[in-house]
Structures are given as structure tokens and as C-alpha cells.
Structure 1
């Protein structure tokens, strides 16, 4: 098996294979390595943003900063030797399935060298926000000052006393802007649409505070009494899952969230109704990814921060011209303009009948349970199309996905199966049913969102059609009835070998193990 990607998803799978399933794995680092902009943090409570097998009693705060999260993951990877087979600096540049052999033939680039490799099973664990992009606006590269993307931050540059343009108001921009505003001469935030600034996920557990630092006594208690740590983690996760009702259109929880969040945003803007009218959406809370953003709204009350909602027409060597003809001069342009969210691979990935996945998904990405796709045998995805990426903590869902993939790995490796692929009919019915469910949920509402490939009226392709717990129930067990099987021999039962089991050949083995008390 080859796994493309060496982040959280891949390490979840590596743990399951190495420590639970006793198989082997090769993986080729990741969100908390790439994102190094000022203010980077996680808006999911730290105690549920952990590997399921490694709770961390030592989180410094309810919402952890990026560096602390990065250090936790690196420490955990080393503790369990999860990077044993990781090949850093390697990039898969071509993958093609060989139907006759039942393998994926790969071309891998390491520095200037390209070599061939192969695997029976290929896993994409590159993440759904891994390919950042510049905004498609005329003249961007004519700008002579510093031009930087939030996902490729220039840590050496001194942003103090500079005139800075912040383009975007997604989660990255919302974290970056108040940090830059502390020392900048002026920060101007250019936005196309408003976004909801909400209380943090799970903040009810800490009384609605923006954040809370854990005391040394609390951390000591969690270290010495794991049951107390588990109780705290369960309280957070329970609240997160219970809050799913807010994502149901016209539900009492959605109406209450709309009213309360609108008022909270007005309060954090110092009661400035003119600003609130520009920054507060009129569509459902959660339609676009809601972000806590401590300090973002408050920054607009500072004299060195301003808001521009007029569209950008083009860039000049010295700044930005908006649609109304105004030229805005800047020393720095920060593009927090997001990622390629089409799910299309950046390299040729060729399945059955010479089908290229990038072409197959050119209009819409249709997956089977977010994990597989017809015409692409023995290929699995973490956080593929319609995965539970907006349902509280992603970490639990990644572990459920790893468990699902491991079940197939076990079946493939023990039953002489050459390859499996989900049927087209099962996939089409899954997506049709999902679209029907999605009509009842806020993600299909009236906003422009990357959940809908940055369209207002697009099909929701990023989010699972239901609750996180519903996802777990669906992927807890594989459904062979939804799959096309091809065996290595003409008789599917040849995997039984000589009719005896492995344990019967082990010296001193207990051959009455199945008798229970």
C-alpha cells in the first residue's frame, strides 16, 4: 500500500495498520507545518483535536495555537514510530491502474530524479485544503511590494509600520488581520461577502469565553486521573454533536443562533450598525464556514483598520483599484484567498478504461461515502467529496475513515481479491439521496461557499449530508453488496488454502480458543 500525504490522516492510518492491524504501510507534512501565519490557531477545542489513541492532558488552553498543535502531532508520531516508512521530499506525479495485474503503477519524483514504483492499494491523504491558489484578478503579479499568501507565509518580513491589504475573510484572514493590525500603519480588509463570526465550537463548556487557559492544577489532574480527562473530552464532544441541530434549516436552534450571533457581532463592533450591516450575513448561520475569530471584529474599531466591500478590479505596481475607480496604495498584499476545492488531483490519476480522475470530476466530484470512486479500483480517499469536514472535530471522522480503509485492506489481503471498486449505481444513489438530505441543511443555503466550490447555487460537494454520528454509523462496516469484485483466480474460495488455519501450525497454540466461560 502507498499513502500519498504525511499528515494527520496518514498518521491515523499508519497507527491503525502498525499497532492494531499488524500490516505494513508507506506514506510520503501538512496543515500545521504549512500554516505559519501570525495568529494561526485551531477553532476546535484542543482536547477533541487529538489522535483518538493519544489524548493530551497538557494542552495549555481550550483552543490551542498552531505551534502547540504541530508539536503535539510530531511528538505523537515519534512516540508510536508512525513515520517509520515515511519518505519525505517525494511526490507522486503519475498513477495508473493496471487492470491485468491489479496494481497501481506510480511515477515518483524525488528532487530531480523520477523513478517507478507500484502498490496494490493507493490512498490519497493529501487533505481537502492542500493546494492554495492566488486570486484570479488582473495584474496581481505586477504588484511591486510584498505579495504573500496565507498558506505560504513569509516569516522573515517585517510587517510593522506597513500599509497592508488583507484580501478575504475566511478563517485564515480572520486570524491574521488582528495580529497584523497591532503594528501595521494601516490594514484594509477587502471582502466580497460577509461571514458569520461565531462563538467558538464547544465554548459553552467554558462559559462562552473566547478562550481559557488551563491551570497547572487542571493539567496535573488530567495527567494523574485519565478518567477526568475522558470526562472533559466527552463533555466537549457531546456538546459538539448535539449542536448539529443548528445546521438544520429553520430549526429553533438555527433561528436562535441567527439572532444571538447577529447581536454578538454588533456588540463586538462597538455597536456600529453601519459596519455591522456590511459584516453580518443575511443567510443561515453555518451556510459558509462559521469562524470564532477572536479580535477580528474588534479590530474594525481601531483607527488603523478599514473595510472595503467594493469589488477589486485590478492590481497596479503600487496597490489595488476597486470597481468604483479608487486606487488604494499598499506596501503589502496578503491573499487569504483559499484553496482549490474541486477535489481534482494535480497529477494524472488514471483508472479503468483510461479514465482520468481530474476529467471524471471536471464538473462535479461524485464519491462513494467520500472514501472511494467508481472506475478507480483499490483507491481510497481521506476527506474526499462529501466528507464530514464541518461537523465539529475532524479527528474522530479521520479515525473512522482509517478504520473503514483498514477493513478493506484486511479483506483484500486475505481473500485473494485482485481489486474492488464501488458500483456506479450505488454511488449515484448515494449522491442522489445525499442531495435530498442536503436541501434540509444550511450548507445548501444562500451563501457563496467553498462547500459549494465557491458558488452560491452550486451543489454541496465538501460536506457530509448529515451528522458526524451518522457518518460513523454508515462507515463502521464495509458494504460488499455495493462493490464490484475481481478475484485473482477463477475460484474465489482458493484463499482458504489447504483447509487449515494459520494458528494450527503454531507450536503450542491453543486450539480450543473459541470455548468461552
Structure 2
């Protein structure tokens, strides 16, 4: 792939010809300071698709004028921009213009100026401590995935000592552990990437697992994180020592156990880290191979085999299309049909011209990232809010949600037009987005293959040579893949953490009901933070990387304030915690995930939504930007 700077005018013109008009317009505003590019006749048409048409609905002659203006600016080198950092008013106008006139709220302007790097995001000291004072601090981070990397970068910039322990043999978290065929991100990777560090030359718009893992390794190398990383090291327990005001942790390695002391403990294992097993009658009699999709083995040979896949969630939607042409047959066992959004260009490579623009054209990558951030972020949330006056709550939660239902249903019908039997099985009965938002990765077309069968009868038992369903039919299988998700309710509780007075986190989060102030802190667990904790899952879209950056800033800001103010320990006030949880629950009552008539891993057995975040991303960014220590109990040094 060629992303080198073009040497000839023709090369530059060719690259600009591949550019997204809505993004090129923002480049012109930055470089020239001329705001006429935000007005008709240049204004793009609104396009709500995840990967929109790069021509943006602009007439060809106007497109040519825009591209010619960009070419003229850069054909003799790179001029100095007229506007490097738009103020909030101009930023708001630019965001609305690039989205084709969408009514972006004013509060997004400061967020996106920070997210796009126009203003700094990093935490800074007001009075930097000396090396001796810093040496008394130490942060133990459990897990080495996206969250740990985000926090490590922030701590490293501040000079706060930290250690990351990872039970696996390599960093990467979910992108190291999950390795099933077809595994990849379902968020545009120009949004699913850190706001800091060197730009990654993604080869496609939605990256696959290996490319994501390589990206995380690059970030770790760029910020010298590996020297703080201990692999094949598992936290088996941790307890708060009130007299020492430290966490006393037991670490298990190949050489045995050791005790590790830290002033701060952070769970960075997230929500989706512990596979949820599924047990079936007769499973011990099955003579083939059985494995969970999250515990994939590269040693299992699938070619020419009869494969059964139990579950039709995000993993199955990627796995089944990836193996269907390699196996003798795939039998998919479905409990609940899933809505899936069609995405043009889901598996398309990024062209050389687009790569060059992303790498070299000033402000292009920032505005492209914004477009991806918005399209798979808060732009969808209004369609998930219940309208109490909507007359058809059985099929949708509001008028816009019903329009999405019609569009998604039409898509399923078009994909399965020759298979009415599959249409009946594949159109869900619950409102769109009531479960996790999925992308069609060739799922529906794969179901029409002659060697693929979708079974909606319940599983009665495993037999030695396959699976028997409730109608008594035996379907042969050489390999059974259990794709039933994760133990989401446990989160950090499985780490065996005991806070003040010996209170165990598993007890605090009893009845599968984890709660945390801002999804980050728990009463009676001083100097303990949970990343991607309760009610922080980005269920309406977005990126866990954005969440991880919000949370790493918050944690680091707490530590800086503690050091500067002479505070040894903080834990959230129970009243502040409880008040926050009441707000979370009240907000969720207005959203789709409390809608009856469906099951979702976002809810626990009591029906409470514990996983999904009810807030807009801009709201959570604001909540976590600067800690409010009046909400905490403090222990002075």
C-alpha cells in the first residue's frame, strides 16, 4: 500500500479525487479561514449511513470546485492553517455542516475539540511533585487490554509509577483472547482507535482481529508500556490494608505466588472477559470436539467437517460467514433472532488515495474521525428513547425506531427473498436495538447457502454424533461451537477483591447487580477503580476506546488531586453512589433496554439494566472530565 507523499500534481489530484467531500470542506475552512465553505451550494446532504457516500450528495460541478480548491492550496507545499483550533461557535457550525445540517447540540463543541486534538486532553500537574514523592505511589492495573493501555499512557505522561499484570501470554485483552475466524471490530476503526499516538494506517474501515492486536502492540511500543507489563501473571486476591492505606495483592506466576503492594488498584478487565458456559443434557456423550468461541483453538481443523454453532449473537454473525465455504455443513441453533444493520463497505479496503489523505492532508483524519464518531455514536440514541404516546410499543419504541424497523425488515426480506422460511425465522419480534447492535457481515446471505441450516427448535440434548432438538430430530456434528457470550454480571468481582472492613466486592455486587459511581468507584473500596464497569457499556454505538480515555483521565485526575492535596485515600460517599444509581435507573426506564418482551445481557435476573450506559457520550465525557471530591470520603496523609 502506497501512502507516501505524491511527488507529482497528478498524484495529489488523484488522491484528492478520492476524498470525502464533507471532510474536504472542513479542510478548506481550517486552511483558508473562509466560512463560505459551510454554506450552500457547498453544503453536503445529510447521510445517516455508517459509511456514507464520499460525494455527499453535492452536484458534480460543485464537487469539482471543492477538489480544485484543495488541490490549489497544497500543490506547492503545505501552507499554514488560518484556523488551527476553531472556537466553540465555529466548531459547532463546522460539525453541523459536515453532517449535512444535523442539529448537533452546542455541548459537543468542547468535547470534539478535545477528541480531535485541537485542545489538549491530558491531565497536568498544577504543582509537579518531586521524584521522591512520586516514588511513594504505585498503581496496579489488572488486565492488559484497551483500558490498561489508555491508563498506562496517561500515568506515564504524569510520571506516576504503575505495573500491569496480565494472566495471558500477551497484551491485547479481547483482541488477544478472541481469535475465532472472522473476528473483528463492529465499530469503524477510525473511531475505534485512540485519540493520541501515531496515526495507524488501517487497511480497511472495519479492522479484523489481527490488525487490531497489531495496533495495540504498536501503541504499547510507542509509549514504552512493556517495561511496566508482567505477562502470565494472575491476580488471585487483593485486600485493602487500612493501616498501610495500601492494597495488598497476591499474584500467581509460573514460579509461585508473591505479594504486591500498591497505593491504587485498577480493574481493567472490562465486562466481556469471562466466557459464559452453556450446559446441555448428554454433553459428556458427544464424541466430537466442543469449544467456546471465546476459547478458540487454532488446532481444531474445520475443513470438510459438520459444524454446529449454538447462538446467533455478534460472534456467530462473524464466525459463520467466515467458515461456511470451508466446512461440509454448518447448523446454527438460534434462540432469538437478531437485528443487523447493513453497512456498505464493511469489508472493503481503504484505497491508496484515501490512505494518503488520512496520513498527510492537514485536518482530514480529524474530521473523518469525527464523522465516524458521530455516525456510530450519539446520533442513534434518540431512536432508542421510549415515546409514551407511541401507539405500537410491541414493535418499536418511537416513530423513528419504527422507521428503522421497517428499513431493517426490508433489508432482511431483500437478502432472503427466495427463502420465505428463513424470513419467518430471521425477523425479530422485539424493537430494533433492544439487544446489542449488530452489523450484517454476510450473515443473511450465508444462511441461504445449501450447506447452512438455521434451526429455531430448542436443543433437547447432545448425542454422540450430534445434537437432538425438541422435535426429536438428530443433526450430525463433528464440532460444536458454543457461542453464548460472557459472564457479564461478574466484571471485577471475579478478581476476589476485599475493601474496607474485609468486605468482598462479590458481596457488594450480590444478586448479579454490580453498581459503581460513574461506573468507576464503589463505596468502602478506597483507591479502587473499575474501568468499563457497571453501566458504562456503549450499547447505543460508539467505542470502548472513547470510554477508556474518559475513564483514564478521571482516574489520573483523582490521583493528581490526591497527591497535590495530601490525600492518602478516597472512596465514594455511599449517598453519592446511591443517588447516581437512582439517576442511572431512572434514565434507563426511558430507554429501549427496559422494554418488555425480550432478553438481553444488558439486564440482570431482576430486570435491572446493569451493563449498558444510559447517557450520551458527551454527558459521560462531562461527568468524568474533572473529579468532584465533595462526592468522596477522604483520608488525609
CA separation in 2, counterparts of 1:36 and 1:320? 25
- Is the 1:270–1:301 Cα contact (8 Å) retained in structure 2? no
Counterpart residue number, 1:248: 385
In the alignment, the residues of structure 2 paired with residue 347 and residue 124 of structure 1 have an alpha-carbon distance, to the nearest angstrom, of: 8
Does the CA-based 8 Å contact 2:205-2:345 persist in structure 1?
Answer: no
- Identify if the C-alpha distance between structure 1 residues 232 and 410 changes in structure 2 by more than 3 Å, giving closer, same or farther: same
Indicate conservation of the 8 Å contact 1:348/1:356, yes or no.
yes
Task: Quote the residue 1:199 is aligned against.
Answer: 342
Further displaced range: 139-148 or 65-74:
139-148
Give the match for residue 506 of structure 2: 358
1:353-502 aligned at under 5 Å gives the runs 353-363=501-511, 364-390=513-539, 391-445=541-595, 446-453=597-604, 458-488=607-637
**How big is the shift at 1:8?**
0.8
Counterparts of 1:141 and 1:7, CA distance in 2:
34
Aligned to 2:479: 332
Counterpart-to-counterpart distance in 1, 2:633 and 2:222: 39
Equivalence for 2:51: none
Q: Is the 8 A contact 2:201 2:355 kept in 1?
A: yes
Structure 2 equivalent of residue 171 of structure 1: 314
Matched-pair contact (CA < 8 Å) for 1:370–1:384: yes
Structure 2 counterpart SS, 1:2: strand
Match runs of 1:78-477 below 5 Å: 78-200=221-343, 208-240=344-376, 241-249=378-386, 250-344=397-491, 345-363=493-511, 364-390=513-539, 391-445=541-595, 446-453=597-604, 458-477=607-626
Determine helix, strand or coil for the equivalent of 1:23.
coil
Distance apart, 1:7 and its partner CA? 0.9
Q: CA deviation at 1:318?
A: 2.0
1:336 and 1:268, CA in 2 relative to 1: closer, same or farther beyond 3 A? Answer: same
1:93–1:108 contact (8 Å) kept in structure 2:
yes
Maintained 8 Å contact 1:57/1:229: no
- Kindly indicate whether the alpha-carbon contact (under 8 Å) linking 1:160 and 1:184 is maintained by their aligned counterparts in 2: yes
The correspondence for 2:154, drawn from 10, 13, 16, is 16
Q: Quick one: distance in 1 between partners of 2:452 and 2:626?
A: 52
1:385 positional shift:
0.5
Q: Distance in 1 between matches of 2:284 and 2:211?
A: 34
CA distance in 2, matches of 1:422, 1:41: 37
**C-alpha contact (below 8 Å) 1:47/1:55 kept by paired residues:** no
CA RMSD in angstroms comes to 1.6
Check whether the contact 1:168–1:335 (CA below 8 A) recurs between aligned residues.
Answer: yes
Q: For residue 487 of structure 1, report the CA deviation from its aligned partner.
A: 1.6
- d(CA) in 2 for partners of 1:323 and 1:373? 45
Of the structure 1 ranges 270-279 and 96-105, higher mean CA displacement relative to structure 2 is found in 270-279
TM-score (norm 1): 0.89
How far has the Cα of 1:383 moved from its partner? 0.4
By how many angstroms is 1:55 displaced?
A: 5.6
SS in 2 for 1:328: strand
Deviation at 1:401, TM superposition (A): 0.5
SS in 2 for 1:313: strand
User: In 2 relative to 1, CA 172–226 (structure 1 residues): closer, same or farther, beyond 3 Å?
Assistant: farther
Give the SS at the match of 2:461: strand
Instruction: For residues 393-434 of structure 1, give each alpha carbon's deviation from its aligned partner in whole angstroms, at most 9, with x where no partner exists.
Output: 221111010000001111222322221111111111111111
Would the aligned equivalents of 1:270 and 1:298 in 2 still touch at CA under 8 Å?
no
SS in 2 for 1:47: coil
- 1:329 to partner: Cα distance: 2.0
Q: In structure 2, list runs of 5 or more residues that go unmatched.
A: 1-138, 166-170, 387-396
Contact conserved, 2:276 with 2:487, CA < 8 A, in 1?
Answer: yes
Which structure 1 segments of 5+ residues have no match? 201-207, 489-517
Cα shift readout 1:316-373 (whole Å, capped 9, x = no counterpart): 2222222222222210001111111113522421111221111221211111110011
Contact persistence 1:367–1:384 (CA under 8 A): yes
Q: State the distance in 2 between where 1:55 and 1:395 align.
A: 15
Q: How many residues align?
A: 478
